[in-house]
Structure 1
Amino acid sequence: MRILLDLARSSIEISSLDQFLDQAAVHVARAVEVHHTKIMRYRREHADLLLIAGRGWKKGVVGAATFPTDLRSPPGRAFRTAEPVILHDLGDAPDFVISPTLKEHDIVSLANVPILVDGAAWGVLEADSTSLRDFSSDTMQFMMTAATIVGSSIKHRAESSGETATIAAELARAQTRGVLLREMQHRVKNNFQLILSAISIQQRRHPIPDVARALNHVASRINAMSLAHDQLATREDSQVVDVANYLRLLCMSIQQQTDNIAIELDADDIELTIERAVSLGLIVNELIANSIKHAFDENGGRVEVKLTSGVGYGDARLIVSDNGRGIQNPRPTDSRGGGSGLKLVEALARHVGGLLDQESSSSGTATSVVFPIVG
């Protein structure tokens, strides 16, 4: 309680947000009795979590280290689901990919709590231990309360710094378009958090491998939609997504969840409406997932994603190809052989007004979708 009071006092007395967050990391380390703590802020333009404040890290880590936001990343899961994530033993956490930063600092146990601003995740507060640690319910209550104080301070500083007035002026010029867009994004983000949180709960309740794989597949599709909404921008007559940047973030997110598989992207600059961009992202997500699941052995391989504009008269072409073993004796239930996976891709291609084509041989499989840029 005394440390929470110190933290609340710091939020009032320290004018610089950076200095306050540094002090908050120290207060949390004192209370939880660990040598390493960190505060991570979500960066929409990179779809990652940047370590912006912390204690105990080697020189150059704070301000530079980043962490994925997918569900296999401990802070990523806390951010996406807006729920605490506790790992008592990182050596026995098969559902998670542990960051090299943690390995470099010999971290073996951790606890994450989301930092919320107006109910939406702003970032993550994490406590890291170099000895096996069973974080108690009291410890987690403290961390959630500390995260609430940090979130309230972030909101208050944004309002008092004049950002609210600046935003209000922009909204007035946009004749309330910005208000509606921000409100929509905020509500959509909260909804994605609720859905991913529900999936996470079901994964814990049903640890059966087949069920876990199915839930992970659903979560990856939802994550693809969430990333698209993060990249939503407004124009005079529509809300659009920078597809090249969206696909870059999507490929990065998938890459961070795989081993021995390189995902390469070459994309022209194209803007699409949110509905069509989501469909395109889901196509890429599905095809890459199919390649990862079916195309490679333990030695891994390469998946290439290429988006080309100026094809024909106002069309674009998306190609997802791999250098795997090709489709071998496809079965009806095989997603690379005409099962539910390819049927979903076909439906999504139709949604963007595109034509789907797939070629496969012993040197790999390539799937292409040619679609109109305006639609």
Structure 2
Amino acid sequence: MTTENENSRPVPPKNRGYETERLSYLLRQQEILAAFGTFALQTHSMEELLQEATRASAEGLRCDHAKALEYLPSEEQFIVRAGVGWKEGIVGHARIAADLESPAGYAFKTGKPVISNHLEQERRFRTPRLLMEHGIRRAINVLIALDEDRFGVLGVDSPEGERFTEADAAFLKGFANLLNLAIGRHLTEARLKEALRHQEVLNDEISHRVKNSLAIVASLLRMQRLAAVDPGLQNALSDAQRRVETIANVHDRLWRSRDERTVDLAEFLNGLCEQFCAEGLDAKTLKCDAVPVTVVTEQAVTIGLLTNELITNALKYAYPNGTGDISLSLARSEQPTYLRIMVCDHGVGLPRDMDTGAPTSLGMKLISRLARELGGRPEWQNAQPGTRFVLDFPARELR
């Protein structure tokens, strides 16, 4: 971060009696605080935030050394998270005691700013080795706290220069307050990201268990079908097994999309058709032509179940004596905000005595019910030859 007039550093007035010099010094500090506040709102990096805090606070007090210390509860020490003016290898590694006998520890424990203008003569505290190694003679430390949680300490140090004053402590405290708000925002964002990651793990576990449960149900139905003697019961159990597997496939594809609210229907329906092709079509071909449209997940589930039922029926009954084509299409309807789904074959067609308005078979009843759930009225047409299923329904797109 750079500030306006970057090379002009605040110079403490040599004679505090001259109010004009003192006012200029304080105004420069306010400019630095304002610039840091803007930077803190824009950055998304904790490291950059702490590093800029040490640089700017050192500039504000016209010193060459500053450090941001983070408290490590497990070690009962501080780690130097950011800093300026220190030898290589200090930032990110060096530790400082966090007890009441160190200036930073006292500021951390009591919450009071600590000014030490003569460390070599200091009797209240011991001088940390880090400061002695750099010839530091005066230091000022203030608490960085997030409500009840204490993050650490912001300190400015110097081997020479004028005494730190209460006004300097007030400046550094104001700096720490801005830092408190910025760190709090960063930690909140980090916790939200962690909560989202945890939620994803839970969703994965739930989806895995649902998939396994459906697979067990399908397996039980298969075992019952193999044990059954009556052909009608075998067919009924086979249909039930297929429908459970359909639900499992729809669930699996929706889960893999990683979008809990919406589904791209073109991608979704193409995937379902690929699944049919992978399982074998017995010399029949399946084509899919779907426009890109996104609908809410609840509606996509119903569309998936309906599509599976229609394609399965066409594969079973349209071409009993040979090969043939089956097509699935999804397009925008002539009615605004409506979609049209069609499944068409060129096979033997529907039985002449079949009343599509009052279906009797379980498959046709299921198709009729799913169509009503989508808000449309199913229409069975003679494709000459074959059968065409048409359904116009309102798209439930996320708004």
Rg bigger for which structure? 2
Structure possessing the higher relative contact order (Cα contacts under 8 Å, 6 or more residues apart): 1
TM-score (norm 1): 0.48
TM-score (norm 2): 0.46
